[in-house]
């Protein structure tokens, strides 16, 4: 789901980025990764309106958090 979200962001596809991001948000919440959620939520919410910029800006931090798992 994370890789699919990254691809959607790179492809400028906000609809797919939102879909995969929403799935990822659920996974993060269900397994209790509060640190990752803290970084992810503020960047994810603008996707509801099709705005990819905040998530693009946070992508390096999110990638670091995800690879640390």
Mean pLDDT computed over 8-37: 88
For residue 69, pLDDT over 80 is answered with no
Q: State the Cα–Cα distance between residues 53 and 15, nearest whole angstrom.
A: 14
Asked whether the predicted pLDDT for residue 67 surpasses 80, the reply is no
Inform me whether the pLDDT recorded for 62 exceeds 90: no
Rounded distance between C-alpha atoms, residue 33 and residue 35, angstroms: 6
Residues 24-60 have pLDDT tens digits of 888 888 888 777 778 788 888 899 899 999 988 888 8
Q: Residue 16 above 70 pLDDT?
A: yes
Beta strand residue intervals within the chain, DSSP E: none
């Amino acid at each position: 789901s994370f890789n699919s979200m990254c691809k959607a962001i790179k492809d400028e596809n906000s609809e797919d980025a939102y879909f995969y991001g929403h799935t990822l948000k659920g996974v993060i919440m269900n397994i209790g990764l509060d640190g990752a959620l803290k970084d992810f939520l503020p960047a994810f919410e603008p996707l509801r309106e099709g705005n990819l910029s905040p998530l693009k800006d946070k992508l390096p931090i999110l990638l670091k958090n995800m690879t640390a798992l």
